[in-house]
A and B are shown apart, each in its own frame.
Chain A
């Protein structure tokens, strides 16, 4: 009886770990199309916290960017509310972080709204960014 309970507990734990693992996997990876568009510099991080198209827009690229920005906006809205901030404030704050996290070769928007390629040097950011 006691062994049975322990087995049950172990199974439950294993199940939880598996579920957590699945969730983490679902959230951890960028969509391959998004990952390659980023790496090729077709899309970049905007100052306002959203993704932007750097060069010529294609319908596929536009769909990809719109899809991600809708999801980002939903996350920003939820988080802004939780932090007593406005959507714009939270989005700009996330933009500061997202630009900081770009890796060399990726595109980001400078405070003057021009597109820059991230180098090893720190990116040019809004003076309000921490």
Chain B
């Protein structure tokens, strides 16, 4: 997250005139640094904002209007036939 941390890491990777062995180690450090930079960069970019309102799952959403329309007439008859409970 902190940019100064990145700078310090890359500084360590490029600083001085290393020997062959030291250069390899330096290159590895640099590569690690790049990976970390990428990871940190990503970490800094992705923003997930929680919604302010509660998420409501509408359980009736799968009941389609055409089904309601198809059943409407029969349901009306049912109510009339069972007037004591409607």
Residues A88 and B63 in contact in the complex (CB < 8 Å), given A96-B68, A96-B72, A128-B68: yes
**What range describes how many residues of A lie at the interface?**
20 to 34
Contact partner, B85, options A48, A75, A83, Cβ 8 Å? A75
Q: Determine the distance from Cα of A60 to Cα of B69 in the docked complex, in whole angstroms.
A: 36
Main secondary structure on A side of the interface with B: helix
Number of interface residues of B (CB under 8 A): 21
Whole-angstrom distance between the Cβ of A110 and the nearest chain B Cβ: 14
Residues A93 and B68 in contact, CB atoms below 8 Å apart: yes
Residues A92 and B63 in contact in the complex (CB < 8 Å), given A97-B72, A130-B68: yes
CB under 8 Å from chain B, chain A span 77-97: 79, 83, 85-86, 88-90, 92-94, 96-97
Whole-angstrom distance between the Cβ of A34 and the nearest chain B Cβ: 8
Contact partner, A94, options B65, B70, B75, Cβ 8 Å? B75
Residues A79 and B74 in contact, CB atoms below 8 Å apart: yes
Specify which chain B residues have a CB less than 8 angstroms from the CB of A83 in the assembled complex. 70-71, 74
Q: Determine the distance from Cα of A44 to Cα of B45 in the docked complex, in whole angstroms.
A: 52
Contact partner, A27, options B68, B71, B82, Cβ 8 Å? B82
Residues A68 and B85 in contact in the complex (CB < 8 Å), given A88-B60, A88-B63, A92-B63: yes
Specify which chain B residues have a CB less than 8 angstroms from the CB of A75 in the assembled complex. 78, 82, 85
Residues B72 and A29 in contact, CB atoms below 8 Å apart: no
Q: Mark B51-86, 1 if CB is under 8 A from A, else 0.
A: 000000000100111011111101110110111111
Interface residues of chain A, those whose CB is within 8 Å of chain B, are 26-31, 48, 68, 71-72, 75-76, 79, 83, 85-86, 88-90, 92-94, 96-98, 101, 127-130
Interface residues of chain B, those whose CB is within 8 Å of chain A, are 60, 63-65, 67-72, 74-76, 78-79, 81-86
